[in-house]
Amino acid sequence: LFCFLALCCRTASGEVGGLRGALAAVECSSGAAVPSGSRSDITCSGNECCPEYGRTFPCPAADEAWVADGHCDMAALQLWPNSSTYAAPPLQPQARIPPVSLSPDAALSEVLETQSGVANVQVLSSQDEGFEEAFRPPVVGSETWYTDDAYPGLWGDLGPAMQPGFGGLRTYNVVKFAPSPEKPLQLFRVMHWAPGDKSSMCSIWWGFESAFATNFVQASINAALCNEYSAIMQCNLTWEVTAIVGQGWDLSSEGFMERGCSSTAGVPQTWVARNLTNQGFPPPGADKLQVVLPACQLSEIMDFASCKACPLPSGAALQNVSNIASYVTNPPDPDACVTDLLDLEAKFTHHGPADHHR
């Protein structure tokens, strides 16, 4: 019997195991060793369901007819999405995510135009120029972290089938932002401080200042985070840009485990995770919109644009901060901050905004 990547079920001690983490050799019921992608060495035998992150999945050795009868929650385990299966939502049925839904009297464009530095917003349809590029921005080129990890994870850490509870977007629109002449479009994110590897602090996940002009726990709720991050970044974009804008899924207790914020027994690993666990894993508010685009790369090809990352305090000091955004908008130690997060000169030629449809 040949068993495929998603394997589960029983360990040598008879305990039920799960399916996430480094590749491990497991024994199928036939005894053939195969890579599994599991969190532990596990085996299964025949027609049985195996649990992982609050869902159940058939053992790969199960009969096809038994699987088709729907004995388990899902027909197969959804592992981290990859570029071979990823496409923009209109092209991939399982990723047909609904549009952003705000209060009845609130239009998305009007809400976005209240954000600092936004002069005008156009919500694109799937037929509009630039729509598809929002999911595969040319500016990231062949950088595999973006093409194979970041964008495939748009709909959640384990894909749209494993929701709710695993972050990512539950709604989306593709939006074209025009910055105001007086101010650039200002976007923020938190991450681990890595001045020796500055590009690692960049990502596609951003939010507006209002999501971060608060304490660290509330900012974590707003952005669906659970780790104790040690830095905050601001990118100021001066040209027209196209981005994915959406409302985020929550992080459940299983999502905390998957991200390493809690142990597999559900024990929080940091003060942030402990606080959020005690609050019952609160979801982001419907008005806390996430903005998805490669801001660091875009800033490198725009006139007068910039990105800056600054360290946050740690431990008790971070718990007492009432506005974490201020650590980058008005840092207490400007010399501690870093800029020039990417050097794309060799990769991208500056032709002007029209050439990048931004």
**DSSP structure string for 121-148:** EEEEPTTSTTTGGGTS-GGGTT-HIIII
Q: Does position 270 have pLDDT exceeding 80, yes or no?
A: yes
- 78 pLDDT band, cuts 50/70/90, is low
Mean pLDDT across the stretch 193-214? 95
Q: What are the angstrom distances between the C-alpha of 15 and each of 46, 51, 197?
A: 16, 11, 41
CB contact burial 272-281 (16+ within 10 A = b; e otherwise): bbebbbeeeb
CB contact burial 319-349 (16+ within 10 A = b; e otherwise): eebeebbbbbbebeeeeebbeebbebeeebe
Q: For 78-82, 344-348, 349-353, which range has the lowest pLDDT when averaged over its residues?
A: 349-353
- Quote the DSSP letter at residue 301: T
Q: Which region, left, alpha or beta, applies to residue 37 given φ > 0 means left and ψ of -120 to 50 means alpha?
A: left
Between 9 and 242, the higher pLDDT residue: 242
- Let me know if 74 is exposed, middle or buried by CB neighbors in 10 A (0-12, 13-18, 19+): middle
0.75 surpassed by pTM? yes
Q: Does position 69 have pLDDT exceeding 50, yes or no?
A: yes
- The torsion of the CA quartet 51, 53, 58, 60, rounded to 10 degrees, works out to -100
* Interatomic CA distance for residues 292 and 302, integer angstroms: 18
Structure-block tokens of residue 35: 């890579």
* Interatomic CA distance for residues 342 and 129, integer angstroms: 27
Tokens 């497991």 locate to 26
Average pLDDT, the chain: 80
